[in-house]
Each structure stands twice: as structure tokens, then as C-alpha cells.
Amino acid sequence: MKPFDHYSPKTLPEALDLLAQMNGRARVNAGGTDLMLKMKAGFLQPEAIINIKRLPELKGVTYDETAGLTMGALTTLRDLTRTAVIRDHYPVLAQAAGLMASEQIRSFATVGGNLCNASPSADLAPPLMVLGGTAVIAHQNGVRELSLDDFFLGPGQSALKPGELLKEIHLPPPTGQTVYLKQSPRAYMDIAVVGVAVRLHQVNGRCREARVVLGAVAPIPLRAREAEAVLEENLVDNGRIAQAAQIAADACTPIDDVRGSAWYRQRMVQVLTRRGLTALAAP
């Protein structure tokens, strides 16, 4: 690994000043479970590392029935699996986090790191997107908010600009039911070959709102809007589900790589979307 400077700011403004000074030559380090691997492999060679683990502004989880959930970017995957308000109101997050990595990695890895790493297969992206998540982004002059639908730009590329930090994630109060399905050769310690998150909000047997987000089958976590459209305002029966699943599969643009062939990924989108919707539509 190339030598680098290491900073450990104690407050958010201090961290933001440092980031601005370094002007793109520094990387922030949260859990380090993505960053360190890339540095060791030589893919990233930052001049400086800014450790953000001490920033109190990036910590904590709060929930309010009307305002919803706010969680700091430093919330770990382990926190997701154990925090009561998350388990009670957004169980899909606990479930998705429980499928990720191992207990050891989950204690280090953060929600912010998973999103900012901007991998198309990031397991938290699809569930946070179907829940309607918003990124709260801090910079030297304040904060800006951005829907997670617009957060990902390409593999490894998020909408964060130099000098910006992901401060927290906001979720509206939950409506409907949500599930995240992950297909990978191994049950644990594996990267998704395909990940599908589905949320279905039904009122009187009709779909009020549907969200379908697909992981690992496009350059970014992909919202399947056409699939959502055929469900919304309709009765979610087997025919509709099959139709939506097919549309979702058609919407994705997977690649052949060592983890899976394009045909298989596309097929899994169809299978998992159908299974997810079937499970949620059940009375």
C-alpha cells in the first residue's frame, strides 16, 4: 500500500474543512471494508485518509411516527439487525443486513459506506430505495437532500461531489410491506448475483403504491418504474404479478461476468420479483 496521511477529525465542520482543503485527494474511511480492499489492491491510492468514525453528527437512529426514520451514515449493518425501531418499522433493513457479509464485517461496515461505495450490487441500496429513502449530504456551506433514486450515477460513482459527505439517511414512515430477495451461490459471505427489493402498499385489495428496485443487473441499482406502473391502482393477482416480473426482467441490462451470465441474472430478476410480489400480495 502507498503511504498516506491520516486524519481523525472530531466534528463534522472540521471534517468538511479537511475534505475541501484536500480537494479530491482524500478519501473518507468509515468501516473500511470496501476502501481498504481497494487500497490494498492498488485501485485507489489516496494521499490522505479522513477517518469519520468519530463524528457525532453521523451517528444515531431516531424514529418518529410522523417524521419517519433518520439514521446516521455511520449506522453499522449490525445496528440495522439489532435496533428495535428498525426491526419494528423497517424489518426489511434488518433482513437485508442480516444477509450481508459476516458478523465480523457487519460490526464494521456502515450504511453510508455501502451507499457511497456505489456498487451496483450493494445490498442496502434496493431496500432503502423502495422505502423512499433520501440522502442528507453535508458540505462546507450546509446540507442538501437528494432522493436515493438519484444518488447512484454508475459503478463506483455516487452523486457526492468533492468536499461532500453523506451525513444521514432519511426514510418516510413505512407504508405497505417490503421484502428483499438476494440470489447468490452462497447463502452468506457472498455478493448478490441479483438482488430485488419490492414494496407493495395495498388498500382494499388494490395496490396503492408499488416499488421495485433491482440490484446487480444494471450499472446502478435500478428502479423498475414500468413494473411498478402495471401494479399501481390494480388488483395484484397472479397474472399482474407475472406481467410485472416480466417487465422488470426486460428493464434490466445485466452483463456476463464471473459471478453470473446475463441470461441468468435476467431470469433471476423475473423469478425473484414474482416471488416477492406473491409473498406481499398474499392476503
Partner 1 sequence: MPTSIIGKRIPKLDAPDKATGRTTYGHDVRLPGMLHGRILYTRHPHARILNIDTSKAEKLPGVRAVLTAADNPQTKFGYGKDNTAFKGDKIRCLADAVAAVAAIDPDIAAEALSLIEVEYEPLPAIFTIADALAEGAPLIHTERRSNRFHTYRYSHGDPDAGEAESDVIVEASYKLPYVSHACMETSVIVAQFDHRGHLTLWSTTQIPFLLQRDLSEALDIPGSQIRIIQTAIGGAFGRGLDIYPYEPIAALMARKTGKPVRLSFSRHEEFMAAPVRQPAEVLVRAGAKGDGRLTFRDVAADLDVGAYISWGAVTPLVMMETAASLYRVPHVRFSADCVYTNNPTTGAVRGYGNPQSTFFIETIMDQLAEALDMDQVDFRLRNANIPNSETPQGLIITSCGLKECLEAVAAAADRGAESEEWGAEITNYQLPITDYQLPITKPHLKRGIGFASTLNVGGGARIYRSDGCGATVKVDDFGHVTVVTGSTEIGQGSETILAQIVAETLGTHLHDITVINSDTDVKPWDVGVHASRTTFIAGNAAYLAAVDARGQIFETAAAMFGVSADNLIAGGGKIKVKDDENRVMSLSKAVRKRHFREDGQVVIGEGWYDPPTKLVDKDTYKGNISAAYGFGSQMAEVEVDTETGHVRVLRLACANDVGRAINPMAVEGQIEGGAQMGLGYALTEEVLVKDGRVLNPDFLDYRLFTSADMPAIETIIVETDDPGGPFGAKGVGEMGGTPTAAAIANAIYDAIGVRLTQLPMTPERVLAALDKKRGKEQTLAKFDSTLTC
Ligand X SMILES: Cc1cc2nc3c(=O)[nH]c(=O)nc-3n(C[C@H](O)[C@H](O)[C@H](O)COP(=O)(O)OP(=O)(O)OC[C@H]3O[C@@H](n4cnc5c(N)ncnc54)[C@H](O)[C@@H]3O)c2cc1C
Q: Which residues bind ligand X (CB under 6 A)?
A: 27-35, 37, 52, 73, 100-101, 105, 108-110, 112-114, 116-117, 122-123, 160, 165-166, 189, 191
Question: Where in 67-126 is the site for partner 1 (CB under 8 A)?
Answer: 95, 98-99
> Interface mask (CB under 8 A) for partner 1, residues 17-56, using x and -?
------------------------x---------------
Closest CA to 99 of 4, 196, 177: 196
State how far the Cα of 87 lies from the Cα of 91, in Å rounded to an integer.
4
Give, in order, the Cα–Cα distances in Å from 180 to each of 13, 172, 225, 255. 36, 18, 17, 21
**183 near partner 1, judged by CB under 8 A:** yes
Q: Which is nearer to partner 1, 140 or 253 (CB)?
A: 253
Shortest separation between residue 251's beta carbon and ligand X, angstroms: 21
Q: Between residue 220 and residue 249, which ones bind partner 1 under the rule CB under 8 A?
A: 242-243, 245-246, 249
Q: Which is nearer to partner 1, 37 or 203 (CB)?
A: 37
Under the binding rule (CB under 8 A), the answer on residue 268 touching partner 1 is yes
> Cβ distance 4 to 46 under 8 Å?
yes
* Closer residue to partner 1 (CB): 170 or 259: 259
Grouping H, G, I as helix, E, B as strand and the rest as coil, residue 185 is coil
Alpha-carbon span 101 to 77, nearest angstrom = 9
Q: Give the C-alpha distances (Å, rounded to integers) separating 196 from 9, 20, 98, 271, 277.
A: 37, 37, 15, 10, 10
Instruction: Name the residue with cell 453499522.
Output: 76
89: Cβ–Cβ under 8 A, 6 or more apart, which residues?
63, 69, 173, 174
134 binds, among ligand X, partner 1, none (CB under 5 to 8 A by kind): none
Interface with partner 1, residue 260, by CB under 8 A: yes
- Nearest CA to 131 among 71, 186, 182? 71
Q: Verify binding: residue 266, partner 1, rule CB under 8 A.
A: yes
Residues of this chain that interact with partner 1 (CB under 8 A) are: 1-3, 41, 95, 98-99, 179-191, 242-243, 245-246, 249, 258-261, 263-264, 266-268, 270-272, 274-276, 278-279, 282
